[in-house]
Structures are given as C-alpha cells and as structure tokens.
Amino acid sequence: MIIDIPTDLEAALIDLPLPAWQLDDSFLGKPTMERYRAELTAATPRFEETVATLRHALTGEGGGYAVLRLGNLLKVLGTDDDRFLRLATGFAAEVAIPFSPFPRWPLWKDIGVKVDKDPGKSSGIGYNAFHMDLVNATLPPDFTTLLCIRPDQLGGGLSILTDAHAAVARLSEGARALLSESAYHYGTFFDLFGVGEECKPFPVLDGSAPSEGFVRFTAKMLKRSPLGQAHTDAAKELARELVCGQVSFMLQAGDYLIVNQRRYLHGREALHSGQEAVPVADRRLLLQLFLRARADGGSAA
C-alpha cells in the first residue's frame, strides 16, 4: 500500500525539531519513543490518522507492507543532519520498537552499492532473490524497513515483495510437510543483539496456523545448504510460487518501505548495468532499520 503524507502534515513536520534519539542497549529508548509520540501527535491530528492507515496496511487483513511517501520532507530537510531520520524514526516507532541487531552499526544501517560485492547481496548490483532478514535467528525482526535516500539513477533496482503465506497455501501437501522439517541452513551468526539464538538447522514453516508465523525462506539457501533432493525440490516449489505472486515497484527518494516479515518476503531486481560509471556518492542508497513488535501489540503510548 502506498501512503501519501497529507500536505498539512508535511508542513507541520518540517518545522518540528525532534530531539536526538537515545538507545537502551540497541533498542530505541522508551523515553525517546514517548517524547517523539507526544510531539508528533501534538503537531497535528493528521499524524495519528496517517499512523492508523500505516498500521492497518501492515497488520490488517490482507496487509503486510506499506510505502510511506516522505519525499517532500527529504527534499526540504535533506540529510546533512538527523532531522529527517528522526521523523522517519518517529513513524517507525508507531509501528513497533526500532532496534539494531548489529551492535557495530548505528540504529540506521547504510545499504549502498558496491560493484565488487557479491551481486546477490543487499549492497550488490545483481538480483537479490526473495528472503527474510535474519532468517537463521530464533527471534528474527518482526519488521524490516528500507528508507530510500537515492534510487538507482540509471533506473534499475525495483523492489520486489511477495505474500509468503499465500505462496505456501498454493504448495502441494508433500512440499509443505518437507518444509516443516528442520533441514535448512543459511548464513553465519555472530555479534548480534536482540534476535535470540542461532537457529540451525531451521524449518521453513514453523507449524503456525495459516497466515501466522514466519516463513523462514531465503533463496540463497538453495545453493548454500547441504540439502537432500526432496528438501531442495520443496524449497524450489516454494521459490516458484513466491515469484508468481510478486509485486514490484521503484522506490523514489524519501519512500519508506516497511515490511511485516511474518507475512511478506522481500528482494530486489538487479540494478541497471553501468554502475561502475556512477560516482559512489550518486549511487543508490537505502537506510535499513529493524523493528521488534511490542509484547502487547500496541503503540508507543
């Protein structure tokens, strides 16, 4: 769902000097969330209306992702200081608790473009197949978010999303049974915070009721897991269904994509060829932030 920011809300937010955030370990501190919410809701009632629309798009029936259009705010505020990021953090904190699972990184993590990186990685230039973030953690982030600062100026890098549970529902009974077995491996696990323990091996389907629970899938495990043929075939069947149900769109500057990882998987089409000729400072740039659902499922209030 695309959510445009009302003009009067934009005007109120532009002149709202939110304070610098404070962290509690790697989580956004409760005093910061309470301060942000108080100032944002006091600025205009349109904030709460927009947040209600955002929450419904992420967790309501049939929902699972949203793109919050913050482009005008980015254009006015720029990125020379943290004013724009504080506003984006304020919106995120109305969905769940922002945190960084990587202690060596700040709250927001840069995802730039590196032409010499593995093309399938988030900072690579190739096709980044469907996956969930921190797939091999016992407590993956409930939401993953990507804030577009600069799109690919050459026109590539469409975001792709797919309803994971809808794809699972289209699978054969045999494939679902195999995907429920702890047979899959992917990734390393070290220096992480707030995501539990390593889950190795893991089941793709965790036994939750339909439309609930994580679908622990990353296409990369097809090449990097020591799988038997039956488990490989089941994962490939799911991969095909994920692609069949995908939606794609281009993130523009200021677009804030929020994905409910309990419902949707995400990825990226390849960037346009010729990235080597684009100056590093002009290449595609996203900022990533993770969110942990509150125990009560409520807002920051």
Confidence of residue 50 (pLDDT cuts 50, 70, 90): very high
pLDDT tens, position by position, 186-216: 988 888 999 999 998 999 998 776 667 899 9
Query: In this structure, is residue 237 part of a structural domain?
Result: no
Query: In this structure, is residue 227 part of a structural domain?
Result: no
pTM of the predicted model over 0.85: yes
Q: What is the pLDDT of residue 299?
A: 47
Query: In this structure, is residue 270 part of a structural domain?
Result: yes
Q: Does 237 score more than 80 pLDDT?
A: yes
Cβ contact 137:273 at 8 Å: no
Domain that holds residue 47: 2-164+244-292
Query: In this structure, is residue 214 part of a structural domain?
Result: no
Residue with tokens 């409910």: 260
CATH number at residue 152: 3.60.130.10
Query: In this structure, is residue 213 part of a structural domain?
Result: no
Q: What is the pLDDT of residue 210?
A: 64
DSSP labels for 86-132?
A: HHHHHHHHTTSEEE-S-TTS-SSEEE---TTS-TTSTTSSS-EEEE-
* Tally of domains within the chain: 1
pLDDT tens, position by position, 165-178: 999 999 999 999 99
H-type alpha helices, 17-110: 30-43, 46-59, 71-77, 83-93
Query: In this structure, is residue 277 part of a structural domain?
Result: yes
Query: In this structure, is residue 116 part of a structural domain?
Result: yes
> Residue 92 CB: number of other CB atoms within 10 A?
26
Query: In this structure, is residue 284 part of a structural domain?
Result: yes
